[in-house]
């Protein structure tokens, strides 16, 4: 295990099993709809790569990048588009893929922007959900795991751009992010 992490919260085997389940549910719900699956960079990149391979239907993919935490581990509520979609989503079935929904501010903002572009539907799939931290009510249509209020890293999730490449989801040692 990496020296900066305290414990494994979700193992690689548990992640894989859950993604297979999500992929099946999404494939069933979007059968014949050719959805546009939108990964939110950079955190959701690892999840997205595994999730689309667990889908048995035709999908198109695209990515967006928004600023959320910056270099600190607290949500500011200030969200900025750093990279927009390449696809026109008018009339399309859009599935947003997120790494984690925490306060819900990032997702709320994204949903507003995307809905204004006239898609046929917009749904959300997140790997992790921290319901106890929610500040705004946002719909989560597909959720991998609900987790307690701990700062997690690995499997795409970072702290100051590190730990994204770790294969499982871990709780970071408190000493690593003092002043959160
Ligand atoms: P929200 O706007 O819902 O508060 O924040 C969503 C974003 O905050 C996520 O996409 C993620 O980048 C970041 N975030 C929230 N909680 C955690 C966490 O426990 N670990 C990491 N690495 N990022 C988090």
Find the 62 Cα to ligand 1 centroid distance in Å.
Answer: 20
Q: Per-residue confidence of the chain (180 residues) as pLDDT tens digits?
A: 999 999 999 999 999 999 999 999 999 999 999 999 999 999 999 999 999 999 999 999 999 999 865 555 556 566 789 999 999 999 999 999 999 999 999 999 999 999 999 999 999 999 999 999 999 999 999 999 999 999 999 999 999 999 999 999 999 998 898 755
Protein residue whose Cα sits closest to atom 20 of ligand 1 = 152
CA–CA distances in Å: residue 66 to residues 21, 54, 119, 147: 28, 25, 20, 23
Tokens of 58: 């035709």
Class of domain 5-177: alpha beta
Q: Tell me, what's the pLDDT at 166?
A: 98
Residue length, the chain?
A: 180
- Using CB distances shorter than 6 Å, the residues near ligand 1 are 43, 68-69, 75, 98-107, 151-153, 157-159
Q: How far apart are CA 145 and CA 171, in angstroms?
A: 14
Q: Tell me, what's the pLDDT at 72?
A: 54
CB 115 within 8 A of CB 90: no
Find the 100 Cα to ligand 1 centroid distance in Å.
Answer: 6
Report domain extents, the chain: 5-177
149 as an active site residue: the answer is: no
Q: How far apart are CA 164 and CA 99, in angstroms?
A: 11
Q: Tell me, what's the pLDDT at 177?
A: 81
Among 6, 9, 102, which is best to mutate for testing ligand 1, by the most ligand atoms less than 8 A from CB? 102
Find the 102 Cα to ligand 1 centroid distance in Å.
Answer: 6
Instruction: Provide the pairing of β-strand 121-129 with 93-101.
Output: parallel
Q: Tell me, what's the pLDDT at 67?
A: 83
Q: In the beta sheet, which residues pair with residue 81?
A: 66
Q: Tell me, what's the pLDDT at 79?
A: 79
pTM given for the model = 0.94
The region, left, alpha or beta by phi > 0 then psi within -120 to 50, assigned to residue 165 is alpha
């Amino acid at each position: 295990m990496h020296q900066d992490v305290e414990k494994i919260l979700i193992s690689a085997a548990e992640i894989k099993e859950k993604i297979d389940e999500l992929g099946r549910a999404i494939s069933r719900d979007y059968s014949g709809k050719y959805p546009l699956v939108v990964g939110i960079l950079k955190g959701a990149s690892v999840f997205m790569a595994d999730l689309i391979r667990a889908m048995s239907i035709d999908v198109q993919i695209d990515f967006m990048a928004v600023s959320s935490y910056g270099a600190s581990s607290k949500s500011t509520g200030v969200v900025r588009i750093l990279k927009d979609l390449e696809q026109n989503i008018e009339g399309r079935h859009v599935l947003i893929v997120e790494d984690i929904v925490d306060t819900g501010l990032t997702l709320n903002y994204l949903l507003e922007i995307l809905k204004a572009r006239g898609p046929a539907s917009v749904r959300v799939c997140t790997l992790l959900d921290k319901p106890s931290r929610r500040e705004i009510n946002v719909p989560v249509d597909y959720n991998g795991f609900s987790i307690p209020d701990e700062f997690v890293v690995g499997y795409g999730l970072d702290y100051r751009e590190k730990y994204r490449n770790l294969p499982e989801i871990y709780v970071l040692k408190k000493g690593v992010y003092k002043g959160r």
